[in-house]
Amino acid sequence: MQENHFTPFQQSIAAYALPERFTFPFYYQPHPLCLLAAKELQTHLDTQTQWQHNFGLTGDTDTAIGKMFGVLLVQNKQGELGYLAAFSGKLADRNHLPNFVPPVFDMLAEEGFFLAGQAEINHINEQIKNLEDNPQIPVLELALKSEKNLASADIQTHRQLMIAGRKTRKNRRVSAQQTLTPEDFLQCKEQLSKESIQDKNQLRDLNVYWEARIHNAERQVDHVTAKLNTLKQQRKFLSANLQQQLFENYRFLNDKGVYKNLCDLFKDTPQRVPPAGAGECAAPKLLHYAFQQEMKPLAIAEFWWGTSPKSEIRQHLNFYAACQGKCQPILAHMLEGMSIDDNPLLTNPAEGKMIQIVYEDEAMVVINKPSEFLSVPGKSIEDSVYLRMKQRYPQASGPLIVHRLDMSTSGLMVIALSKAVHKVLQKQFINRTVKKRYVALLDGEITQQEGIIDLPLRVDLDDRPRQLVCYQYGKTAKTKWQVIERNKKQTKVYFYPITGRTHQLRVHSAHINGLNTPIVGDDLYGNKTSRLHLHAETLELDHPVTRESMHFQVEAEF
């Protein structure tokens, strides 16, 4: 008999109002009933003894793995209100645990194709490893490399001799033409031509000689690696087939009773192929189970439990939106036809806001950008600093925008009113001669007084526009910081960005290896409030025409 994963609330919820529409999963504030459900689930995680998993909350962080958990507020067929719970991926090396909904597809089922296919691939991996350990392979590969190097050197030496020979023959030809009789000069030319042909024939023979030696060395390498290469091709084929089977077996149900698998859901996306882990997040698991059991989904929320990962920003107990890359195509199908909260990202946040002009002349303008105001037009919202400046200065030429601030960041921006001025100002930013200081309010107490954060950043390909710390592919990102004051378990700091990467100050604040304290109001890396408490307070640069050093400062509103 299938286990019922519906969990009634432990306390009365009569005083709570139900959500009018389902959560927009990619940007939301958790509904109070979801907060209550999450609190009950967190108590369960703290007290349960049926399974063990190292979340890193007891001090052992070396092997710790934090997890994303989700709660789905539902109404069952009997009209009762309760919630479902799920975890992302596996937990305690298992797909099935008490009180949690099952996976959409159980790849760990003992009689399933996945474990059998994985076992076959693992067997091939063992064979490959054994063959790669053959001591003959590096010896023969080194011999092949040596033959190629010798061939290249020998042929290059002969080519140099041919060049020298051509030069000598040219001089001989000129001298002969000047000193010999016509008959003797003709004989001399024939001799010089024979010498040239002889050099070319020697080069041909040299190429044939070395090609034979290299081919022989390659045959010896191929002899010991033929089976290895065959096994690698076989592994590649089996892996691709196994992955395709997985994609086809991850089938997601929606409210209309329609199933779609991963192949169908991702075929029209830019990548076309589902990313690793697609379908294993908490949100698709929860919705799939609810629809299977004919429950009505009312609201959803997902939170992180455990130590922070080394790359992305995830902090214990914080709530996070569903990821765009893995979940957007899946959830778009699963929520089709349901009444969903409006997407706030489609609402113009700059409506009704004015841009303050701090400085203005014929060459440039310095403005104080409000928070929640785009620097340049977005995909769905045109209103921005660029548009407002274009409207205010219709005669201006060139790109106008010299540098950008995040939409949520307020503060100083410089605008160029001509192409020539834009080029001069942009060069100052590229050469890092422009001095900038930001002020930020952090959601915690920083014990140190100052320091430098050096964490390379790149975009999270599965969840744009979020940024990741990545030492392999990330771009250098450095920030100098200094504490201004501490008050009510919050810390106000100055930031001096040495580089200017996307979300640099926000990530350097929130990341476990940075200040490990998000900026107040950071809806991507911390907790949303009325605004992001980050402000570009000072700006120092040379005037693009007069070269005069200029200093601008606007105090933050927080």
Last residue of a domain, one of 246, 276, 304: 246
Same domain, 461 and 402: yes
Name the 3-class secondary structure at 123.
helix
Q: What angle do CA 389, 392, 398 make, to 5 degrees?
A: 50
Last residue of a domain, one of 318, 345, 372: 345
Same domain, 299 and 222: no
Last residue of a domain, one of 300, 315, 345: 345
Between 52-61, 305-314, 474-483, the lowest mean confidence (pLDDT) is in: 52-61
- CB under 8 A, 24+ apart: contacts of 50-58: 50/97, 50/98, 51/91, 51/92, 51/94, 51/97, 52/92, 53/91, 53/92, 55/305, 55/306, 55/307, 56/306, 56/307, 57/306, 57/307, 57/316
Same domain, 432 and 532: yes
Q: Is residue 111 part of a domain?
A: no
pLDDT, residue 1, reads: 39
Instruction: Note whether 467 and 525 are within 8 A (CB).
Output: no
Same domain, 425 and 531: yes
Same domain, 341 and 351: no
Q: Provide the residue range defining the domain that includes 424.
A: 347-553
Between 83-92, 108-117, 496-505, the lowest mean confidence (pLDDT) is in: 108-117
Asked if the bond preceding 377 is cis, omega within 30° of 0, the reply is no
Q: Is residue 382 part of a domain?
A: yes
Same domain, 359 and 487: yes
pLDDT, residue 380, reads: 87
Name the 3-class secondary structure at 490.
strand
Please give the structure tokens belonging to residue 144.
């092949």
What are the pLDDT digits (tens) for 343-391? 988 899 999 999 999 999 999 999 999 999 999 999 889 999 999 999 9
Same domain, 368 and 422: yes
pLDDT, residue 125, reads: 96
pLDDT, residue 111, reads: 85
Is pLDDT of 2 > 70? Answer: no
pLDDT, residue 63, reads: 87
Same domain, 479 and 375: yes
**What kind and span of H or E run contains 468?**
strand 467-469
pLDDT, residue 462, reads: 87
Q: Is 406 a catalytic residue?
A: yes
Q: Which residue has the tokens 């927009």?
A: 24
Strands 259-261 and 296-305: unpaired
Is pLDDT of 60 > 80? Answer: no
Residues 6+ apart with CB under 8 A from 238: 117, 120, 121, 124
Q: Is residue 232 part of a domain?
A: yes
Number of domains in the chain: 3
What are the pLDDT digits (tens) for 112-134? 899 999 999 999 999 999 999 99
Q: State mean pLDDT over 181-195.
A: 93
What values do phi and psi take at 360, rounded to 5?
-155, 135
Same domain, 475 and 448: yes
Same domain, 507 and 364: yes
Q: State mean pLDDT over 222-230.
A: 93
Same domain, 86 and 189: no
CB atoms within 10 A of CB 217: 19
Residues 6+ apart with CB under 8 A from 210: 147, 150, 151, 154, 155
Q: Is residue 205 part of a domain?
A: yes
User: Of 199, 205, 406, 443, which one is the catalytic site residue?
Assistant: 406
Handedness of CA 327, 331, 332, 334 (dihedral sign): positive
Q: Write the CATH number for 388.
A: 3.30.2350.10
Same domain, 281 and 404: no
Residues 430, 420: Cα–Cα separation, whole Å: 15
Q: Percentage of residues in the chain with pLDDT exceeding 90?
A: 93
What are the pLDDT digits (tens) for 280-316? 999 999 999 999 999 999 999 999 999 999 999 999 9
